[in-house]
Structure 1
Amino acid sequence: MRKIVLQMMTTLNGRLDDPLAWLHGVSDDQYREIDRLYASYDTILVGRTTYEEMAAYWPGAVNEGTEANRSMARRMNAYKKVVFSRSGREGLTEWVNVEQVVVRSDADLARYLTELKARPGGDIHLSGGASLAQSVIGLGLVDEFRFFVYPVVSQGESWFAKLTDKHDLELLSTGSYENGVVALHYVPRQLAATVQPSSFTDLLT
């Protein structure tokens, strides 16, 4: 069974939206870790707004920046991008390997994601934005949480703002990077006993 992994950059107070307002850069060592994690994915789940931000940057980034950034760009171009919409009326910026999925209710979303997890393939990256992330968390379909927490507090939409139930998480590992960002890796507590390290590196972190 494939896993859905919520992996995102966020602030100390959980802000997810408008990263240009608070994200002060990605250091090379952080990019290398993100690239390592992305090697386990082959599908990305996004809302329309987040998709448009990605489509404006990644297609042209394959020849820009550091090797780690170029590697990330190649992955982002190759992965399947699933863009969720309530109506399907909004057009999407053209990009390769894109599928727009109309989900008019949480039941539609749960049905689609449950079927997607049962298909063969790599793990599935839940990228955001906040509304989509909260919906999938609320449905109990997120198997792992990976946060890159920036040392800043900034007012905006958080990934947990509209969650109404308590969600107990168990910490599996932490990390830190040259730019002061801290990595936190959690699983839902009810799943913690079933999670095994996937590599010797994971065992040590």
Structure 2
Amino acid sequence: MSAAQPRRKIVLQMMTTLDGRLDDPMAWLHGVSDDQYQEIDRIYAGYDTVLVGRTTYEEMAAYWPGAVSEGTETNRRMAHRMNTVKKLVFSRSGASPLTPWSSVEQVVAATDSDLAKHLAALKAEPGGDIHLSGGASFAQSVVALGLVDEYRFFVYPTVSPGKSWFAKLPSGLDLQLIDSRSYENGVVGLHYVPREATDRVHRETFTDMLT
């Protein structure tokens, strides 16, 4: 009997601010250092599927096809990954046509229930891990449905008002830190997995927390 295939994971991997902002990165993102970009590229090697909302997809489709011969070696390698990885573009209606790009499929999910069913089925298929990309509203919806298995944040040392990844959580979320590292530009990489609510130890007073 063959061993069971490991379950695919949905990974929310994003650059963010100290207050969790995801949207409009040009308002707060001050650059990506080479060591940080190499780490992003390394992580991306484990993905074979990207989940993305329509607006962010159009931004990606406008840049990555022409980036295979631009910038640093890391950027060219990332461009190759982005051009070949399977891209699932989620839409509530599917009414607007997508800009043509390689390995693209449009998924119409009119309700959160439709979205949850599709992602649960996707995770049950064989394959590599799945990158939950932007935009912010789409990412918030998937987080709120409790379907994210890992969180990888590149936290920029800035505060900026906007849409945060946790804004639509119906209740609290406890995370367990798996790894952390810092980069030349002051960004901190944080790798979390959800912690079961049953693992939380309830304390009656602040003094109890310290003993």
Aligned ranges for residues 44-63 of structure 1 at < 5 Å?
44-63=50-69
* C-alpha contact 2:144 2:168 (8 A) present in aligned 1: no
Secondary structure of the corresponding residue to residue 46 of structure 1: strand
Residue 124 of structure 2 is matched in structure 1 by 118
- Of 126, 137, 142, which residue of structure 2 is paired with 1:136? 142
- Of 28, 37, 41, which residue of structure 2 is paired with 1:35? 41
Aligned length: 192
* Per-residue deviation, 1:101: 0.3
Aligned ranges for residues 58-137 of structure 1 at < 5 Å?
58-137=64-143
Q: Report % sequence identity.
A: 74
- Of 164, 182, 191, which residue of structure 1 is paired with 2:170? 164
Residue 183 of structure 2 is matched in structure 1 by 177
Alignment partners' CA distance in 1, 2:45 and 2:131? 11
Deviations 1:124-174 (A, max 9, x none): 000121211121112111100000011111121111122221111111110
Aligned letter for 1:166?
G
- Where in structure 1 do 4 or more consecutive aligned residues deviate above 4 Å? none
Alignment partners' CA distance in 1, 2:179 and 2:141? 25
Aligned letter for 1:52?
E
* C-alpha contact 2:48 2:128 (8 A) present in aligned 1: yes
Secondary structure of the corresponding residue to residue 99 of structure 1: strand
Alignment partners' CA distance in 1, 2:149 and 2:94? 27
Secondary structure of the corresponding residue to residue 36 of structure 1: helix
TM-score scaled by length of structure 1: 0.90
Alignment partners' CA distance in 1, 2:26 and 2:62? 14
Aligned letter for 1:123?
D
Alignment partners' CA distance in 1, 2:85 and 2:95? 24
Larger radius of gyration between Structure 1 and Structure 2:
2
